[in-house]
Amino acid sequence: MRKKIVAGNWKMNKTLSEAQQLASEVVNMVKDEVNSDVQVVLCPPFISLYAVGKLIESQSNISLGAQNCYHKASGAFTGEVSVDMLKSVGASYVIIGHSERRQYFNETNAQLAEKVNLLLAAQLQPIFCCGESLEQREKGIHFDFVRQQLTESLFHLDTSQIQKIVIAYEPIWAIGTGKTATSAQAQEMHAMLRKHLAGKYGEQMADNISILYGGSANPGNARELFACPDVDGGLIGGASLKSRDFTDIIKSF
């Protein structure tokens, strides 16, 4: 049985006090209203990780996640944040390879492979993002492109390691645009990703890997997306900044 996960990617939003406020609201709503087995992950900006971690401490179904990490273990990399630092403030998940990082910070599949290795060595769970641009989809190369992202960043892992990975499919054309993939488009890609994983690691292993959908997911479309057999939850952008919307998404399972 694979885990159902709803992760909130707060991106570069919320000051420390705003982050504390939002996290407290989510904790209270989840406590009062969520009785399913969904694992909730809050991914605030680095500076709020520790404080948010303290606020969610008592809620076993809410975990702390970071939005990125550096691809080297430590050293003279001014301004960067290492995997060990994230672990030391209580993170248990780390989003890597978000399309905004690939696009604005030129992250490569090879760097992401390094991040995956460091995270797994520290026993943190990567939420590995993949997804195609509109142009790639229109050219009909979207499956090949996303398959290659997985192959180049993850397929060096052995079977015991791959089961620790959470995958988030986020079509770039649906991020911050208000456009969502239809549930049929999401299911088609998720099924293809699972097949690709099964080709390398076997069907049983692939069946245990959670694949989340991301890209303008909201309370209005979450139920239909989460009803797809290969959609195991969501990586939520804008809608995770409002406790009511985020909780309603969690309740959409």
What residue numbers does the annotated binding site for substrate cover?
9-11, 176, 216, 237-238
Q: Determine, following the binding rule CB under 6 A, whether residue 218 of this chain makes contact with ligand 3PY.
A: no
Q: Does 175 bind ligand 3PY (CB under 6 A)?
A: yes
From 71, 170, 190, 196, the catalytic residue? 170
Cβ atoms of residues 55 and 21 within 8 Å: no
* Residues from 198 through 217 that contact ligand 3PY (CB under 6 A): 214-217
Residue with Cβ nearer ligand 3PY (187 or 218): 218
Region at 40 (left for phi over 0; alpha for psi -120 to 50; beta for the rest): beta
Residue 142 is a catalytic residue: no
d(CA 77, CA 23): 30
Catalytic annotation on 188?
Answer: no
Q: 63: closest CA among 39, 31, 27, 35?
A: 39
- CB contact at 8 A, 4 and 250: no
Q: Which two tokens stand for residue 146?
A: 């996303």
Among 6, 86, 154, 235, the residue binding ligand 3PY under the rule CB under 6 A is 235
The site string for ligand 3PY over 58-97 (x = CB under 6 A, - otherwise) reads: ----------------------------------------
Find out whether 25 and 11 touch, Cβ atoms under 8 Å. Answer: no
User: Do 193 and 201 meet the contact criterion of CB atoms below 8 Å apart?
Assistant: no
Q: What x/- string results for residues 1 through 40 when contact with ligand 3PY is judged by CB under 6 A?
A: --------x-------------------------------
Residue 160 beta carbon to ligand 3PY: minimum distance, rounded to whole angstroms? 28
- Residue 136 has, within 13 A of its CA and on its CB side, a CA count of 14
Give φ, ψ of 96 to 5 degrees: -135, 150
Decide if residue 176 touches ligand 3PY (CB under 6 A): yes
Active site residue ranges? 98, 170
Residues near ligand 3PY, by CB under 6 A:
9, 98, 170, 175-176, 214-217, 235-237
